[in-house]
Amino acid sequence: MRATLALCLAITLCCLAQLTALADGLVKEAMIWPVLQCTCNDNGVHGNVIITYADGAKTPVTSGGMCAQVRISPDGRTVGWLTGVHRDLWKDGEISFVPTALVLWRDGKLFRHIPGTNGDIIGWQFWNGGAQVALSVGDVTHRPYCYFLYDIATLRKDARGEFWGRDGDGVALPPEWAKAIAYGEPTILKAVAPK
C-alpha cells in the first residue's frame, strides 16, 4: 500500500512540475491535451492539463501526460483532474491508464491531493457549489464501487456510500451526491467554467 501511495505522489509531483501563478485566479477553460503517442488501450484519454484563464492566456500546468477527467469548480477558481498510472489490468500484456488520485489546483498551485482509498478512482465531480468533491472508488475491472464525499477545505470525509447495481436491479441506489458518477463516468477532455 505504501509503495502505491508513493508512486501516486511521485506521478502527481511530476504532473505538477510546471505550475505557474494566476493573475486573477479565474479559469475560463481547462482541457486535457491527449498523449497520442502512448501505446496503452486508453490512448487519447489521458494527457496534460492546459488551463485558459479569463484573460485568454493559456498555460500548460502538467507535463507527465498522466492526467484525465478535468473539471472546473462552479466558482471558476478551482480546477481538478485525476492522475494515474499504466497498469496491466487483465494480466494479458495490454496496458491501460488507471486513475489513482484526484488533484485540486487553485490560484496557480497545488491545493489538494486526494489518493484513491482502497482502490482506483473511477470518476469524480464537484458538489455543493465546489465546496466538496465526490469520488467513485473501486476496482476498475468490476463493480461494486464506493463513493466518498470530501470537504475541500478540510479534506474531511463528509459521507460514504455504496452502490451495487442500476435502478431496477433491486439494490440500493447511490446517494444523491454520487448519482452523476454512478450512472456513467464520461471521458472528460475539456471543461468550461460556468457563466
Q: Which residue has the higher pLDDT, 167 or 34?
A: 34
Please write the tens of the pLDDT for every residue from 54-65. Answer: 999 999 999 999
- For position 189, what pLDDT does the model report? 57
Of 63-72, 132-141, 147-156, 165-174, minimum mean pLDDT range: 165-174
The better pLDDT of the pair 141, 145 is held by 145
Give me the residue label for grid cell 490560484.
107
Question: CA quadruple 121, 89, 15, 11: dihedral positive or negative?
Answer: positive
Instruction: Please determine, for residue 138, whether its predicted confidence score (pLDDT) is greater than 70.
Output: yes
For residue 133, name the pLDDT band (cuts at 50, 70, 90). Answer: very high
5-18: b or e for each residue (b if 16 or more CB lie within 10 Å)?
eeebeebbeebbee
What does pLDDT average to over the chain?
A: 76
Quick one: pLDDT at residue 62? 94
**pLDDT over 70 (residue 4):** no
Greater confidence, 139 or 5? 139
| Statement: residue 73 has pLDDT above 90 | yes
pLDDT at 5: 38
Rg of the chain, C-alpha, whole Å: 16
**Taking Cα atoms as reference points, which of 105, 59, 108 lies closest to residue 82?**
105
What's the whole-model pTM score? 0.77
C-alpha distances (whole Å) from 130 to each of 57, 92, 126, 139 are 23, 40, 5, 26
Reported confidence tier of residue 3, pLDDT bands at 50, 70, 90? very low
CB 76 within 8 A of CB 115: no
